[in-house]
């Protein structure tokens, strides 16, 4: 299924606008951006690719969804169902983790937290590895 370039650009522009809309909470921006991408081939199901596109559009606001990060949330006792709307719930869970975290972690970007979640279940993870990732102050 091929879409005209103008349709792809219109659709991605709507997703980018939603992702960058600071009048929305991050989870609402994630939900709106994810919904905007749905008409594109390859974006109807699954959140990994859509989250990568949205995070590229708004790297200081959003995070990449990954099955490993999902598993890490489970390890932390945070349930995240596979029902529709998962990406928005994932961003909300990241926000809750950041809010509850001690300094300096609470100042991490959502992207830094998703990277930490990705590495959580890896056999050789140290917090020194995470020191290389930017905080909100580094990216503004």
Structural domain boundaries in the chain:
5-139
Percent of the chain with pLDDT over 70: 86
Distance between CA atoms of residues 36 and 51, nearest Å? 12
44-61 mean pLDDT = 96
Q: Place 48 in a pLDDT band, splitting at 50, 70 and 90.
A: very high
Handedness of CA 93, 44, 82, 115 (dihedral sign): negative
Q: 66 CB contacts (<8 Å, ≥6 apart)?
A: 48, 114, 117, 118
* pLDDT computed for residue 128 by the predictor: 59
| Cα(128)–Cα(47) distance, integer angstroms | 29
Q: Own/partner pairs for 44-51, CB < 8 Å, 24+ apart? A: 47/86, 47/87, 47/90, 50/87, 51/87, 51/90
Q: Read off the pTM.
A: 0.84
Average of pLDDT values for 47-71? 96
d(CA 101, CA 96): 9
**For 76-121, what is each residue's pLDDT tens digit?**
999 999 999 999 999 999 999 999 999 999 999 999 999 999 998 7
């Amino acid at each position: 299924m091929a879409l005209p370039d103008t349709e792809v650009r219109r659709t991605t522009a709507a997703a980018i606008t939603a992702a960058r809309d600071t009048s929305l909470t991050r989870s609402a921006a994630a939900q709106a951006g994810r919904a905007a991408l749905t008409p594109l081939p390859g974006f109807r199901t699954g959140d990994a690719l859509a989250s990568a596109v949205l995070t590229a559009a708004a790297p200081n606001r959003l995070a990449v969804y990954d099955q490993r990060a999902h598993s890490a949330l489970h390890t932390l006792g945070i349930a995240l169902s596979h029902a529709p709307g998962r990406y928005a719930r994932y961003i909300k869970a990241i926000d809750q983790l950041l809010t509850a975290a001690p300094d300096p972690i609470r100042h991490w970007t959502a992207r830094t937290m998703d990277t930490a979640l990705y590495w959580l279940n890896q056999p050789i993870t140290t917090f020194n590895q995470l020191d290389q990732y930017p905080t909100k102050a580094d990216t503004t």
